Structure formats: C-alpha cells, structure tokens
Amino acid sequence: MERYNRFFSQVTTTAGPADAPRIMRSALTGEKLAVSPKPSLQEAIGLSDKEAASVHEIATSARAEYADAYAEVSGVTLEGRLRALETGDFSWVHAQEERIRQARRRAFDTAVGRLRGALGEARFQVVDAYVKSGALERYVAKVQGQQDELLRQNGLTLFAR
C-alpha cells in the first residue's frame, strides 16, 4: 500500500496529457524554449495519453479517499484521548485506528484494481513493476533537476503568453 501511496502522490504531481509546456524566454538571447512543466507518465513509463489519463484520474481519486481517511485520524485521536483520560480504556482508540487503516487499504486496493481494469493485465504489470522499483520518484527528481539546470544555463525566465 505504501508504494502505491507514494506512486499516486507522484502521479498527481506529474504532467497529465492535457498539460501544455511552458514557454520560456532566454534573458540573454531572447530565444523562446518550450519546457515541460512537469515530467509526464508517457515519458517516465511509456504510457499512451489515454493510459496516462486513466492513471491520473485513478491516482487523484485514490489520494482524495486516502486524505479523507487521514483527516479522520486527527478527530479520532483527539476524541479517543479524551475518552481514554476519562475511562483509562484505549480499546476504542485502537478500534477506530484499525477501522481507518482498513478504509485506507480498501481505497488503495480499489484503486489498484481500477488500474488493472483500465490498463489491462499486461500494461498493469509494466506499471506495477515501475511502482515497485521506485523509479518514478527518481525520474521526477532527475527531470526537475535537468529543467532547473537548463534554465540556469540559459538565463531563462517565464515568458508570459
């Protein structure tokens, strides 16, 4: 679950098929250069635009469900601590925390099932191997570093269209 949580988090910060490149202008030469705003899943994993759109939609949905379950934790923790202070019994807190963990696991299990269905088994196995390798995190960091270096080397600034 944790690997897919990190993957879905990274996916929601990568470029989707509809993201257009930024147009940059060199402060030194005035030349225009298109720079991808964020690395794309198509580049990172080799997905088609349709596959990437499906992965983005599923990842966004899973992250929202996960966030809802996580937000619930703070309320449960506070309420549970107050109850435990009054009664000395922590069983309610533990039961609620387990319920929330199960809800998060179900959200990710559902999302992984949706991925498998949207991509088909063969393409899902490619994505699953990529998720398990942790390569997307390294790829995103590498591309962002390359873009930052390109901007620095060329004195580029954001060009307002």
Q: Give 75-139 as a DSSP string.
A: HHHHHHHHHHHHHS--HHHHHHHHHHHHHHHHHHHHHHHHHHHHH-HHHHHHHHHHHHHTHHHHH
pLDDT at 13: 72
Sequence-distant (6+) residues with CB within 8 A of 132 are 3
The whole-angstrom separation of Cα 60 and Cα 161 is 29
pLDDT at 159: 45
Taking alpha carbons only, the member of 159, 155, 153, 160 closest to residue 27 is 155
pLDDT tens profile 110-125: 999 999 999 999 999 9
pLDDT at 19: 52
Q: Is the pTM of this model over 0.75?
A: no
Q: What is the mean pLDDT of the chain?
A: 75
pLDDT tens profile 145-160: 666 676 667 665 544 3
For residues 93-111, average pLDDT: 83
**Count of domains in the chain?**
1
Q: Which domain holds residue 121?
A: 2-14+22-158
Phi-psi category of 98—alpha, beta or left, where left has phi over 0 and alpha has psi -120 to 50?
Answer: alpha
